[in-house]
Amino acid sequence: MGLAYSLVALNINQLALPAIPLYQPPPGRWITFLATVILGGLLGLIAAWPEDAIPGVLFSALAGILLTSLFNIFLGESGTGTVAGALIVLFLTFLPRAMLFLPLAAITRWLLGFWAEELRDINFSVKKIALSLLGVLLLASLTGVLSLYPRQARASLIKTNELVQLGLQASNPESLPQELKPLFGFIEAATGPYTLRLSDNPDALPITRPIAAYNETEYAVLVRFENGYRFACVFSPPDPRAYCGNY
Protein backbone atom coordinates (compact mmCIF):
# COMPACT_ATOMS: atom_id res chain seq x y z
CA MET A 1 0.00 0.00 0.00
CA GLY A 2 2.89 2.34 0.77
CA LEU A 3 4.41 1.52 -2.60
CA ALA A 4 1.17 2.18 -4.52
CA TYR A 5 0.49 5.41 -2.61
CA SER A 6 3.98 6.84 -3.00
CA LEU A 7 4.19 6.05 -6.72
CA VAL A 8 1.06 8.14 -7.31
CA ALA A 9 1.54 10.87 -4.69
CA LEU A 10 5.16 11.66 -5.62
CA ASN A 11 4.58 11.74 -9.38
CA ILE A 12 1.05 12.96 -10.00
CA ASN A 13 1.87 16.69 -10.05
CA GLN A 14 4.85 16.15 -12.34
CA LEU A 15 2.61 14.16 -14.69
CA ALA A 16 -0.07 16.86 -14.58
CA LEU A 17 2.52 19.62 -15.14
CA PRO A 18 5.19 17.98 -17.33
CA ALA A 19 6.73 21.26 -18.51
CA ILE A 20 7.04 22.79 -15.04
CA PRO A 21 10.33 22.39 -13.07
CA LEU A 22 8.64 21.61 -9.77
CA TYR A 23 10.64 21.91 -6.57
CA GLN A 24 11.28 18.63 -4.76
CA PRO A 25 11.56 19.21 -1.01
CA PRO A 26 14.18 17.42 1.06
CA PRO A 27 15.16 14.70 1.64
CA GLY A 28 14.52 14.08 -2.08
CA ARG A 29 12.15 12.03 -4.20
CA TRP A 30 13.85 8.64 -3.84
CA ILE A 31 14.45 8.84 -0.10
CA THR A 32 10.84 9.96 0.42
CA PHE A 33 9.67 7.08 -1.78
CA LEU A 34 11.69 4.50 0.16
CA ALA A 35 10.63 6.01 3.50
CA THR A 36 6.96 5.77 2.50
CA VAL A 37 7.30 2.13 1.47
CA ILE A 38 9.13 1.23 4.70
CA LEU A 39 6.57 3.16 6.77
CA GLY A 40 3.73 1.29 5.06
CA GLY A 41 5.36 -2.05 5.85
CA LEU A 42 6.01 -1.06 9.47
CA LEU A 43 2.43 0.13 10.04
CA GLY A 44 1.08 -3.06 8.45
CA LEU A 45 3.26 -5.13 10.77
CA ILE A 46 2.01 -3.20 13.83
CA ALA A 47 -1.61 -3.60 12.72
CA ALA A 48 -1.17 -7.36 12.26
CA TRP A 49 0.93 -8.09 15.36
CA PRO A 50 -1.63 -8.13 18.24
CA GLU A 51 -4.03 -11.02 18.40
CA ASP A 52 -6.98 -8.66 18.85
CA ALA A 53 -7.81 -6.40 15.92
CA ILE A 54 -8.71 -3.20 17.79
CA PRO A 55 -5.35 -2.73 19.58
CA GLY A 56 -3.51 -3.44 16.33
CA VAL A 57 -5.51 -0.83 14.44
CA LEU A 58 -5.12 1.80 17.19
CA PHE A 59 -1.39 1.21 17.68
CA SER A 60 -0.77 1.27 13.93
CA ALA A 61 -2.68 4.54 13.48
CA LEU A 62 -0.90 6.14 16.45
CA ALA A 63 2.50 5.05 15.13
CA GLY A 64 1.65 6.49 11.71
CA ILE A 65 0.65 9.83 13.22
CA LEU A 66 3.79 10.08 15.35
CA LEU A 67 6.25 8.91 12.69
CA THR A 68 4.91 11.14 9.91
CA SER A 69 4.85 14.13 12.26
CA LEU A 70 8.47 13.54 13.23
CA PHE A 71 9.40 13.03 9.57
CA ASN A 72 7.86 16.38 8.58
CA ILE A 73 9.44 18.19 11.52
CA PHE A 74 13.01 16.94 11.40
CA LEU A 75 13.45 16.07 7.71
CA GLY A 76 10.89 18.31 6.03
CA GLU A 77 11.75 21.73 4.74
CA SER A 78 9.55 23.63 7.18
CA GLY A 79 10.51 21.65 10.24
CA THR A 80 11.69 23.49 13.31
CA GLY A 81 13.65 20.61 14.75
CA THR A 82 12.57 21.58 18.28
CA VAL A 83 10.47 19.82 20.88
CA ALA A 84 8.05 22.77 21.01
CA GLY A 85 7.63 22.71 17.23
CA ALA A 86 7.08 18.96 17.30
CA LEU A 87 4.34 19.24 19.92
CA ILE A 88 2.58 22.09 18.11
CA VAL A 89 2.59 20.30 14.75
CA LEU A 90 1.48 17.05 16.35
CA PHE A 91 -1.40 18.77 18.13
CA LEU A 92 -2.61 20.66 15.05
CA THR A 93 -2.44 17.66 12.72
CA PHE A 94 -3.46 14.84 15.06
CA LEU A 95 -7.11 14.57 13.98
CA PRO A 96 -6.49 14.94 10.20
CA ARG A 97 -3.77 12.29 10.37
CA ALA A 98 -6.00 10.02 12.47
CA MET A 99 -8.70 10.26 9.78
CA LEU A 100 -6.12 8.90 7.32
CA PHE A 101 -4.29 6.26 9.34
CA LEU A 102 -7.22 4.68 11.20
CA PRO A 103 -9.01 3.55 8.00
CA LEU A 104 -5.72 2.37 6.48
CA ALA A 105 -4.89 0.29 9.55
CA ALA A 106 -8.43 -1.12 9.65
CA ILE A 107 -8.29 -2.06 5.97
CA THR A 108 -4.89 -3.73 6.47
CA ARG A 109 -6.19 -5.75 9.43
CA TRP A 110 -9.34 -6.72 7.53
CA LEU A 111 -7.31 -7.81 4.49
CA LEU A 112 -5.00 -10.02 6.55
CA GLY A 113 -7.98 -11.51 8.40
CA PHE A 114 -9.73 -12.21 5.11
CA TRP A 115 -6.64 -13.94 3.72
CA ALA A 116 -6.18 -15.99 6.89
CA GLU A 117 -9.80 -17.13 6.79
CA GLU A 118 -9.60 -17.93 3.09
CA LEU A 119 -6.36 -19.91 3.42
CA ARG A 120 -7.85 -22.11 6.14
CA ASP A 121 -9.97 -23.69 3.45
CA ILE A 122 -8.13 -26.36 1.49
CA ASN A 123 -10.01 -25.14 -1.60
CA PHE A 124 -9.10 -21.48 -1.08
CA SER A 125 -9.61 -19.11 -3.99
CA VAL A 126 -6.49 -17.51 -5.44
CA LYS A 127 -8.80 -15.24 -7.43
CA LYS A 128 -10.42 -13.83 -4.27
CA ILE A 129 -7.02 -13.18 -2.68
CA ALA A 130 -5.70 -11.49 -5.81
CA LEU A 131 -8.82 -9.35 -6.27
CA SER A 132 -8.79 -8.23 -2.64
CA LEU A 133 -5.12 -7.26 -2.94
CA LEU A 134 -5.80 -5.41 -6.19
CA GLY A 135 -8.69 -3.54 -4.55
CA VAL A 136 -6.55 -2.40 -1.61
CA LEU A 137 -3.72 -1.28 -3.91
CA LEU A 138 -6.22 0.64 -6.02
CA LEU A 139 -7.56 2.34 -2.89
CA ALA A 140 -4.03 3.31 -1.84
CA SER A 141 -3.39 4.71 -5.33
CA LEU A 142 -6.59 6.76 -5.22
CA THR A 143 -5.48 8.16 -1.86
CA GLY A 144 -2.29 9.31 -3.58
CA VAL A 145 -4.39 11.25 -6.09
CA LEU A 146 -5.30 13.62 -3.23
CA SER A 147 -1.77 15.00 -3.55
CA LEU A 148 -2.67 16.60 -6.89
CA TYR A 149 -2.52 20.40 -6.71
CA PRO A 150 -5.93 22.12 -7.12
CA ARG A 151 -6.80 23.49 -10.55
CA GLN A 152 -6.17 27.10 -9.54
CA ALA A 153 -2.80 26.17 -8.03
CA ARG A 154 -1.76 24.42 -11.25
CA ALA A 155 -2.80 27.49 -13.23
CA SER A 156 -0.64 29.67 -10.97
CA LEU A 157 2.39 27.44 -11.59
CA ILE A 158 1.83 27.48 -15.35
CA LYS A 159 1.42 31.27 -15.44
CA THR A 160 4.55 31.83 -13.35
CA ASN A 161 6.61 29.52 -15.53
CA GLU A 162 5.42 31.39 -18.61
CA LEU A 163 6.50 34.68 -17.03
CA VAL A 164 9.93 33.27 -16.17
CA GLN A 165 10.44 32.02 -19.72
CA LEU A 166 9.43 35.40 -21.15
CA GLY A 167 11.72 37.14 -18.70
CA LEU A 168 14.68 34.98 -19.67
CA GLN A 169 14.20 36.07 -23.28
CA ALA A 170 14.28 39.77 -22.37
CA SER A 171 17.46 41.69 -23.16
CA ASN A 172 16.82 44.68 -20.89
CA PRO A 173 14.50 45.66 -18.02
CA GLU A 174 12.13 47.52 -20.33
CA SER A 175 11.39 44.37 -22.34
CA LEU A 176 10.44 42.32 -19.27
CA PRO A 177 6.81 41.27 -18.83
CA GLN A 178 4.90 43.86 -16.81
CA GLU A 179 4.59 41.46 -13.86
CA LEU A 180 8.38 41.06 -13.60
CA LYS A 181 9.35 44.75 -13.88
CA PRO A 182 9.10 45.33 -10.09
CA LEU A 183 11.81 42.69 -9.53
CA PHE A 184 15.30 43.76 -8.59
CA GLY A 185 18.17 42.22 -10.53
CA PHE A 186 16.22 39.85 -12.76
CA ILE A 187 18.13 40.58 -15.96
CA GLU A 188 21.53 40.25 -14.28
CA ALA A 189 20.90 37.35 -11.89
CA ALA A 190 18.10 35.18 -13.35
CA THR A 191 20.24 32.67 -15.22
CA GLY A 192 20.55 28.91 -15.28
CA PRO A 193 18.18 26.22 -14.00
CA TYR A 194 15.34 27.12 -11.65
CA THR A 195 12.51 25.47 -9.75
CA LEU A 196 8.97 26.50 -8.82
CA ARG A 197 7.53 25.81 -5.40
CA LEU A 198 3.84 26.26 -4.56
CA SER A 199 2.78 27.89 -1.30
CA ASP A 200 -0.66 28.71 0.11
CA ASN A 201 0.79 31.24 2.58
CA PRO A 202 1.47 34.40 0.55
CA ASP A 203 1.08 36.54 3.68
CA ALA A 204 4.61 35.49 4.63
CA LEU A 205 5.94 37.35 1.57
CA PRO A 206 6.57 41.12 1.35
CA ILE A 207 4.41 41.46 -1.77
CA THR A 208 1.57 43.95 -2.04
CA ARG A 209 -1.49 42.69 -3.91
CA PRO A 210 -5.28 43.23 -3.94
CA ILE A 211 -7.51 41.53 -1.38
CA ALA A 212 -8.70 38.13 -2.55
CA ALA A 213 -12.41 37.44 -2.85
CA TYR A 214 -14.18 35.75 0.04
CA ASN A 215 -13.74 31.98 0.13
CA GLU A 216 -10.99 32.09 -2.49
CA THR A 217 -7.54 30.61 -1.89
CA GLU A 218 -4.48 32.71 -2.61
CA TYR A 219 -1.41 30.98 -3.96
CA ALA A 220 2.19 32.05 -4.12
CA VAL A 221 4.74 30.50 -6.46
CA LEU A 222 8.31 30.74 -5.21
CA VAL A 223 10.90 30.85 -7.98
CA ARG A 224 14.45 29.91 -7.05
CA PHE A 225 17.42 29.72 -9.41
CA GLU A 226 20.34 27.43 -8.67
CA ASN A 227 22.61 30.46 -8.33
CA GLY A 228 20.52 31.66 -5.36
CA TYR A 229 18.44 34.37 -7.06
CA ARG A 230 14.80 34.14 -6.03
CA PHE A 231 11.46 35.89 -6.21
CA ALA A 232 7.79 35.02 -5.83
CA CYS A 233 4.51 35.68 -7.63
CA VAL A 234 1.22 35.89 -5.74
CA PHE A 235 -2.21 35.21 -7.26
CA SER A 236 -5.25 36.72 -5.54
CA PRO A 237 -8.46 35.58 -7.25
CA PRO A 238 -10.59 36.75 -8.90
CA ASP A 239 -7.75 38.99 -10.14
CA PRO A 240 -5.97 36.86 -12.77
CA ARG A 241 -2.75 38.90 -12.67
CA ALA A 242 0.43 37.84 -10.95
CA TYR A 243 1.98 40.20 -8.40
CA CYS A 244 5.68 39.47 -8.21
CA GLY A 245 8.44 40.65 -5.91
CA ASN A 246 11.75 39.71 -4.39
CA TYR A 247 11.82 38.10 -0.97
Q: What is the DSSP string of 124-190?
A: --HHHHHHHHHHHHHHHHHHHHTTSPPHHHHHHHHHHHHHHHHHHH-SSGGGS-GGGTT-SSHHHH-
State the pLDDT confidence band at 25, using cuts at 50, 70 and 90: confident
**Mean pLDDT score of the chain:** 91
Q: What average pLDDT score do residues 65-73 get?
A: 78
The predicted pLDDT at position 96 comes to 84
- Sorted by sequence, the CB contacts under 8 Å of residue 142 that are 6+ apart come out as none
**Residue 82 pLDDT exceeds 80:** no
Peptide bond into 27 cis (omega under 30): yes
pLDDT the model gives residue 137: 95
CA pair distance 13, 30, nearest whole angstrom = 16
pLDDT value at 77 more than 70? no
Cα distance between residue 172 and residue 186, in whole Å: 9
Mean pLDDT of 54-72: 89
Question: φ and ψ at 62, to 5 degrees?
Answer: -65, -40
- pLDDT value of position 79: 44
73 band by pLDDT with thresholds 50, 70 and 90: low
Cis, bond preceding 55 (omega within 30 deg of 0): no
Q: CA 153, CA 159: separation in Å to the nearest integer?
A: 10
* Confidence tier at 80 by pLDDT (50, 70, 90): very low
pLDDT given for residue 187 in this prediction = 97
Least confident of 61-70, 74-83, 211-220, 226-235: 74-83
Residue 169 predicted with pLDDT over 60: yes
Q: Give the whole-angstrom CA distance, residue 113 versus residue 107.
A: 10
Other C-beta atoms closer than 10 Å to the C-beta of 55 total 13
Residue 184: phi and psi, rounded to 5, are -95, 125
Residue 234 has pLDDT above 70, yes or no: yes
